[in-house]
Amino acid sequence: MPESLSQPDYRSQHKRRLSWMPWLYFSLKEKHLSWARPWQEEVQRQFSALETVSIGKHCFIAPEARLFAEPGRDILIGDDCMIAAESFLHGPITLGDEVAINHGCSLDGGRKGIRIGRQTRIANNVTIYAFNHGMAPNAPVYRQAANSCGVVIGEDVWIGAQAGIVDGVTIGHHAVVGMGAIVTKDVPDWAIVAGNPARIIGDRRNKAQV
């Protein structure tokens, strides 16, 4: 083989695969965990050293994720959580156990914070903002004080790709938010919502078992 061609770097490629598809980390065989676990431990140590971040047991945090948490704007991550590449999280944010945040999501907790219940799944490119700018006509928007009510997402919620959730919203347990939906009002337990603005289109309890 010509000297200019190097051997394929399978481990680096596998790390990239895990960063973008972090659920694969939880099914790795021991021979892969022998390098993946120390790699993840170091990634998580760096986040915890640089930011006010608390990370639970058996989590996966992509090194390409962007976590920012000043004192008083903590990020608290439960056990068995996963955060994929190119996601932006700015505290205060609290994740329950087994929460998944897929690639390209953007979460900003404002002053009041974002709370996400256990076993909730958030698909790629979801935006959740727990603050709003003032809109009074006598000053530019960017000069007006931001206000924050907070966002609460219940347990076992599925939020579809490219959905948006605005400040002040509470999403009930077991709800489903459809792809591309913009949620501007509270969502009841078990409700399925879709559209812009999102409206109720169904109930999970009426779905047949697969």
Known active-site residue 133 = yes
Check residue 157 and report its DSSP letter. -
Taking CA atoms, 133 is separated from 85, 92, 141, 151, 201, in Å, by 28, 18, 7, 16, 30
> Is the CB of residue 17 less than 8 Å from the CB of residue 23?
no
CA distance 87 to 105: 5
Going from the C-alpha of 203 to that of each of 55, 67, 170, 187, the distances in angstroms are: 34, 34, 17, 11
The residue assigned the tokens 């930011």 is 51
- The catalytic position among 14, 133, 173, 174 is 133
Pairing of strands 146-147, 106-108: unpaired
Residues annotated as catalytic are: 133
